[in-house]
Structure 1
Amino acid sequence: MTQAHKQKISSKASQFTESVIREMTRVALQHNAVNLAQGFPDFPCPPELKQAAYEAIAGDVNQYGITWGDRAFRHALAEKVRWYLGLEIDPERHITVTCGSTEAMAATMLATVDPGDEVIVFEPYYENYGPDAVIASATPRYVSLHPPDWTFDEAELRQAFNNNTKAIIINTPHNPTGKVFSREELTLIAELCQKWDVLVFTDEIYEHILYDGTEHIAMATLPGMEERTVTINSLSKTYSVTGWRVGYILANPELTGAIRRVHDFLTVGAPAPLQRAGVAAMQLPESYYKELAILYQEKRDSLLQILDEVGIPYSIPKGAYYVLADISRFGYKTDVDFVLYLIKEIGVAAVPGSSFFSQPEKASKFIRFCFSKKPETLAVAGDRLLKLQSILQKAT
């Protein structure tokens, strides 16, 4: 009797690929290209964090800590949230420390979403959200953000809500567009979430990287929203430690209890000495955040000037550290083809827009540049990108 062939790969794993963003870093290394693809700084983190990490390791903070977060870090975090967002957070009941915001979103979805539930995702979106929904056996429901200001259509958003809607994901400031959701937009979303009894998962990892006087509004601060909002964040971007993998979740005690159980069996805990260094991060003065925004605005303006010189249109980001550029003038069939040309022939890596859209045809004219780099890095990238001028001249 012949044994039936069994499918070795799960249906979940078959629905998505490895990260395209991280793949672009590997291709960039192969071709010695300037990496404006993956979103990590190429400059040092604050020295206070390094010193705190050294001291924690030297002090033998090297074993398992409390699964859901080092107590000193949670208390320092609650104090920082209090002065920045105005939220009163109980460090014992409202905080879960995770292995980066990536695990935070996955743990949140696994703890709250059941098969058949729908999760609303604004598109374009950070590439992890789709696979997160699949892993949680949820159905993503996409709502378009429309260029150049990346606004959504109120009617489309209202139509997306229904009795199967469990949650909506909001990323503000937004990756990849640089959009910062306005109070008016968030108020409308809050109204719909309360009407349909929907949770909000907010990814606020770029909360301090803001431009042109733009204000970050945390959804949990809006009336009626603190109890139904799960706020996700990380040390990674604000403190330039993307490799430390220390993220955190703020949620009401009921949700926190479920999230902690999932987190416990996903990763046990985030790195103990680096959580202790997170205390130093939370204790940095308010001036640090003001200087950070000024630093990144200079980097943004530097990259935008380069794109202007080359003749590549773009949307002006109001937050985060990315620029979504329009490559339709180059005549390439796909965004992937153009990015591979850019890496291999021009020597600059970017991310194809298809990483951020559910349907590749929507993405074919977009690529994303990251500008969280040293001035010297951006200067080299600029010199190389200027080679594209001749291609555009031939095309016109």
Structure 2
Amino acid sequence: MSLTRTAIRSKLPNVGTTIFTRMSKLAEEYKAINLAQGFPEFDCSTELQKLVDKYIRQGKNQYAPMAGVMALREAISRKTYLATNADYHPESEITITSGATEALYVAISAVVHVGDEVIIFEPAYDSYVPAIEMNGGIPVFVTLDPQYESINWESVSSKITDKTKAIIINTPHNPTGKVWTLSDLQKLTELAVKHDLLVISDEVYEHIIFDDRVHISASSIPALAERTFVCGSFGKTFHTTGWKIGYCLAPKDLTTEFRKIHQFLVFSVVTPFQFAIAEYLSEPDHYLALSAFYQQKRDLFLNAITDIGFIIKPSEGTFFQNVDYSNLSDEDDLILAERLTRKAGVASIPVSAFYDKVVDHKVLRFCFAKNDDTLLKGAELLQKIKVW
């Protein structure tokens, strides 16, 4: 077919296929164990499945309210108050979204105008920059140190200009597994208040924290909460990434602007799943037990790969583990990740993909949200392969 119309001008000219799609496709092609893309291999609880069936059979199959089913917003309000003492009103300060990715996109769209600068900590989850650029904003990067031991707040301060509108944070942090400390949140608060900045806090791994650490939400500091969109997800918490049920907590004035955009993107989110999650949240152990569940998997995987020769800093949270292979190979991380997929039969993600400009610290990211036998088989294949 001949092209007779004018070619469109791309709004995201530098965006191609994501590294997650690329590595998952390669894993499928070579029948490799996929420890690359971040989704659980196991199913959600049968109790939660039965609740979905219950509400489907009750006829909860039409549009939900634009802001979300009230029962779920009330459940989130109670859950948040118990965890942080932050009191979000279900009617005016909590919105149910089509996953956390939509929540993040809408929050950015609600406040970023052409020419506004938004500070991002890299390595960074890949949806932040496109959302900023789609709204005419300018991403400004603060690069974390290679070991992700601490945040250089002097560097953050130096990036703030009179054009800075917002800062995006992510804790627990994907891909590094870093969990922000109370000191980090306090320093963020000082800068946000001093420069009158908004904050967008990606907290989708809030219930996956290891070694007796505690997740400190942006909502737990009142001076920070009053200028923050807190974005969460039940996909990570309940092993239901395909349901795409997320939420956003924000003060009333920010929520008003948030909903203006949300209503024209998806309007509302799948109804029976919202009712099911609302009822499932009535038992706190359904999410409070998650850290121990995933720590067992992290430890199993780390013990299984300990003899390979990686330099390893155990993940503090999320369901990802980074490994430094600089003692084993000088190859670029993308080249090695692709070769391990083809030759070893194990797919991973090269961490350089999470930077604006390629920064190769010789680090690969593995997802351990898999069945134990899958993790052990993947580790066995990595042990045997002679590609190092």
Instruction: Give the structure-2-normalised TM-score.
Output: 0.95
**Equivalent residue for 2:145?**
146
CA contact (8 A) 2:119 2:167 kept: yes
**Does 2:21 match 1:22?**
yes
1:89-128 aligned within 5 A: 89-128=88-127
**Equivalent residue for 2:314?**
316
**Does 2:369 match 1:369?**
no
Give, in angstroms, the shift of residue 198 of structure 1: 0.3
**Equivalent residue for 1:57?**
56
- Cα offsets for 1:305-362 (capped at 9, x unmatched): 23321111132211111112223344354221111111111011111112211111x1
**Equivalent residue for 2:303?**
305
Give, in angstroms, the shift of residue 233 of structure 1: 0.2
C-alpha distance in 1, partners of 2:269/2:172?
25
- Cα offsets for 1:209-267 (capped at 9, x unmatched): 11111111111211411210110001011111000000100001111111111111111
SS at 1:151's partner residue? coil
C-alpha distance in 2, partners of 1:9/1:27?
30
SS at 1:24's partner residue? helix
**Equivalent residue for 1:227?**
226
C-alpha distance in 2, partners of 1:391/1:351?
17
C-alpha distance in 2, partners of 1:247/1:304?
30
**Equivalent residue for 2:135?**
136
SS at 1:309's partner residue? coil
CA contact (8 A) 2:146 2:361 kept: no
**Equivalent residue for 2:342?**
344
Give, in angstroms, the shift of residue 9 of structure 1: 3.3
**Equivalent residue for 2:179?**
180
CA contact (8 A) 2:238 2:287 kept: no
Please tell me the residue identity of whatever aligns with 1:347. G
1:281-300 aligned within 5 A: 281-285=280-284, 287-300=285-298
SS at 1:276's partner residue? helix
Distance 1:281 1:118, change over 3 A: farther
**Equivalent residue for 1:8?**
8
- Identity between Structure 1 and Structure 2 (%): 36
**Does 2:376 match 1:379?**
yes
Structure 2 unmatched runs, 5+: none
- Cα offsets for 1:161-188 (capped at 9, x unmatched): 1211111111001101110001111111
CA contact (8 A) 1:149 1:315 kept: no
CA contact (8 A) 2:208 2:294 kept: yes
Give, in angstroms, the shift of residue 7 of structure 1: 4.2
Give, in angstroms, the shift of residue 289 of structure 1: 3.4
C-alpha distance in 2, partners of 1:93/1:300?
39
SS at 2:212's partner residue? coil
**Equivalent residue for 1:167?**
166
1:64-103 aligned within 5 A: 64-103=63-102
CA contact (8 A) 1:173 1:320 kept: yes
Give, in angstroms, the shift of residue 119 of structure 1: 0.7
- Cα offsets for 1:4-42 (capped at 9, x unmatched): 9844132x2212223211332222112111111111111
C-alpha distance in 2, partners of 1:112/1:164?
13
Give, in angstroms, the shift of residue 277 of structure 1: 1.5
- Cα offsets for 1:273-331 (capped at 9, x unmatched): 1111121332123x333432111111111121233211111322111111122233443
CA contact (8 A) 1:95 1:248 kept: yes
CA contact (8 A) 1:95 1:251 kept: yes
**Equivalent residue for 1:191?**
190
**Equivalent residue for 2:351?**
353
C-alpha distance in 2, partners of 1:106/1:167?
13
Please tell me the residue identity of whatever aligns with 1:8. I
C-alpha distance in 2, partners of 1:24/1:283?
38
C-alpha distance in 2, partners of 1:345/1:205?
33
**Does 2:204 match 1:205?**
yes
**Equivalent residue for 2:239?**
240
C-alpha distance in 1, partners of 2:149/2:15?
25
Distance 1:386 1:222, change over 3 A: same
SS at 2:168's partner residue? strand
CA contact (8 A) 1:356 1:363 kept: no
C-alpha distance in 1, partners of 2:123/2:280?
31
Please tell me the residue identity of whatever aligns with 1:372. A
Instruction: Give the structure-1-normalised TM-score.
Output: 0.93
Q: Give the root-mean-square deviation of aligned CA atoms.
A: 1.6
How many residues align structurally? Answer: 385
C-alpha distance in 2, partners of 1:315/1:135?
36
CA contact (8 A) 2:324 2:361 kept: no
